Amino acid sequence: MHPGQPPQGRPYPPGYWPRPALPPTAQQLQGRTLAAQPEPYPYHRRPAHRPKLRWVATPPPGAWPRRRVVAPEPYLGPPSYPVPPRWGFPNLVWRRPTSVPGTASDEIRPIDRVPVLRRSVVVVLFAFAALAVTAASAEFWRYVLLVQGRDTALSRSVVAFSDGFVLTAGLLASILALLPAGLSLWWLLVARQAAADVSGDDPPRPVWQVLVGVLVPVANLPLALSIVGELEHAVLGRSRDVRPKPSRQVLVWWGAWLLNWILLGVSIIWRFRGDVQSMADSVLLVALTDLAAATLAVLTALVVRRFSTLLAPSDALAVREMRVLKVQGAPEPELRTSRPAGAAR
């Protein structure tokens, strides 16, 4: 039904002229065209009835009880008890915060590993030094027997015992040399990291350079002094802007390091010579190498002990216990004139 038209089946009333229908505007035509087209997926599946209202339920005023306002109490002074309290701190020994299990502080820091490694390294190095001196004594005894054998015949039992002594001491010294070397290298890596943590700076060189400077022959001759000198520089807390200057103890240790490696290389090369005099000289060279190894082990133990003492705090077990005998200059304590009610006798 258009505007200006009567209902169907009814004539126009007298004197009524129908109003012509206006043509649709461009906006109405565009709306009809868009309404005739289906909406793209998934909008064409929307329900025909689209509610325009959104109901939000809120509690009415006064539905929730108001929070009671507590007036602040006046300060009445420190707590007091009619009798001594029975509670207090547990009767336990004080422990470091790093020993609390289940927390982030449970992880062992490098600074805590240094005293433990120091004790192990020092004991093993002194034990190896004693074994190396024993092996050197066996080599010197063999050399004396070789000198005596040029003019006189030697006892068979003495020669057999000397050979067994040299073989046993030499094998033990060669095999057990790996243990102090491994422990010393471990201590070196842990001490470098502990010194870096204390100073707040990174280590001066990466780990692979330290391993190359200690384990690779020929390259470890000059690099060992740099590595140990840098560790001493960091342990003493000196600035990284200052060039490390090794102390006399480190220089003496480096001299023993060079002597040990040089004698080891010469003794290995000398064994390839087949004449009798070269074989006798190799016995003397092995004895000197064993003595150099013992000297290096002792000097390494002294360096480890000094650096660990400077780096890690002193051990509480090593401190001598002291007893208070007399106090001078302290004020007299206030004596209690009356006994509180309920106090235990």
Asked, for residue 90, whether it belongs to a domain, the answer is no
Looking at mean pLDDT, say which of 84-88, 124-128, 175-179, 279-283 comes out highest.
124-128
pLDDT over 80 at 141, yes or no: yes
Q: Measured between alpha carbons, how far is residue 122 from residues 17, 128, 173, 248, 253 in Å?
A: 125, 10, 17, 20, 15
pTM for this entry: 0.61
Average pLDDT, the chain: 79
Asked, for residue 163, whether it belongs to a domain, the answer is yes
Q: What is the CA radius of gyration of the chain?
A: 47
In sequence order, which ranges of the chain are alpha helices (DSSP H)? Answer: 26-36, 110-148, 156-176, 178-199, 207-215, 220-235, 248-270, 276-311
- Say how many domains are in the chain: 1
Confidence class for position 126, pLDDT limits 50, 70, 90? very high
Give pLDDT tens digits for 268-295: 888 888 777 777 888 888 899 999 999 9
Between 251 and 71, residue with greater pLDDT:
251
Between 204 and 99, residue with greater pLDDT:
204
Give pLDDT tens digits for 241-268: 888 888 999 999 999 999 999 999 988 8
Between 239 and 24, residue with greater pLDDT:
239
Q: Measured between alpha carbons, how far is residue 296 from residues 188, 252, 303 in Å?
A: 16, 10, 10
Q: What integer is the mean pLDDT of 41-46?
A: 48
Asked, for residue 335, whether it belongs to a domain, the answer is no
Asked, for residue 228, whether it belongs to a domain, the answer is yes
pLDDT of residue 37: 52
Asked, for residue 25, whether it belongs to a domain, the answer is no
Asked, for residue 306, whether it belongs to a domain, the answer is yes
**Residue 28, φ and ψ in degrees, nearest 5:** -65, -40
Asked, for residue 330, whether it belongs to a domain, the answer is no
pLDDT of residue 130: 93
pLDDT over 60 at 49, yes or no: no
Domain with 137 in it: 107-312
pLDDT of residue 77: 83
Asked, for residue 165, whether it belongs to a domain, the answer is yes
pLDDT over 60 at 311, yes or no: yes
pLDDT over 60 at 106, yes or no: no
Confidence class for position 41, pLDDT limits 50, 70, 90? very low
Q: What integer is the mean pLDDT of 76-80?
A: 82
